[in-house]
Chains A and B, each alone.
Chain A
């Protein structure tokens, strides 16, 4: 079955540690996205990538980093520079073009202890 997987589902981190969230898709989509969701907030775009080895900052990129070495994979690293990293992180993918609405993964809930 085609889809997007994110791992782990729950992640706990101590302050000052970097942590990497995994996102993999087998839909052959060109574009991949990372969003952050906080309670009562909409989704805010962290980073996105439209092609391998290229990515762009979204609205809240500070304290995060990404890589896109393979079409299928778009890992997100939450660095110690991110001041308030506790949130629900959602990965999505889509075909390029104006119909950008995509498929979302199940999410990773990150809690900083």
Chain B
């Protein structure tokens, strides 16, 4: 199976909350990241969390980490049409310092 897994699609209505989920397999994960990619563009680092934390909040973004289950989620409050994009979950590992392992990305579509 994949090292990092995400559901591929999520649709929400404008103003609702979005929750994007991710699971990973490596127990030596150090940091976990969420990136946003708009069409035809590179990746923008949204937020990250250290593997010993269980929650991080940054304005409309809330990251939850369940290390026991190796489950990461990104909650976007008050989702806007401008949030429509692909969201990638990624991890870095103590065993391979310096590189990232990515999921396939979740396409978030926000309906007005």
- A in complex with B: yes
Q: How far is the CA of A113 from the CA of B41 in the complex (A)?
A: 22
Number of residues from B at the complex interface, CB < 8 A: 26
Residue of B nearest to A10 (CB): B40
Interchain CB contact under 8 A, B45 and A102: yes
- A84 within 8 Å of B (CB atoms): no
Is A64 interfacial (CB-CB < 8 Å)?
A: no
The interface size of chain A toward B, counting residues with CB under 8 Å, comes to 29
**Given A106-B41, A106-B42, A107-B40, A101:B48 Cβ within 8 A:** yes
Q: Is the CB of A31 within 8 A of B48?
A: no
How far apart are B58's CB and chain A's nearest CB, in angstroms?
14
Decide: B88 and A43 in contact? CB cutoff 8 A.
Answer: yes
Q: Which residues of B contact A106 (CB under 8 A)?
A: 41-42
- From residue 4 to 35 of chain B, which have CB atoms closer than 8 A to chain A? 4, 8, 30-31, 33, 35
Complex CA–CA separation, A104 to B35 (angstroms): 10
Q: Contacts of B104 on A, CB cut-off 8 Å?
A: 40-42
Contact of A58 with B by CB under 8 A: yes
User: How far is A55 from B24 in the complex, measured between Cα atoms in Å?
Assistant: 27
Whole-angstrom CA separation of A100 from B97 in the bound complex: 8
Cα distance, A48 to B4, chains bound together (Å):
20
Expressed in whole angstroms, the Cα–Cα distance for A106 and B103 within the complex equals: 19
Which residues of B approach A to under 8 Å, CB–CB?
2, 4, 8, 30-31, 33, 35, 40-45, 48, 88, 90, 92, 94, 97-100, 102-105
- 5 contacts across the A-B interface (CB closer than 8 A): A33-B99, A35-B102, A42-B102, A43-B43, A48-B99
The 4 closest A-B pairs by CB, nearest first: A104-B42, A42-B102, A100-B92, A98-B30
List 10 additional contacts besides A40-B104, A100-B92; criterion CB under 8 Å.
A43-B88, A48-B98, A97-B97, A98-B97, A101-B45, A105-B42, A106-B41, A106-B42, A107-B40, A107-B41
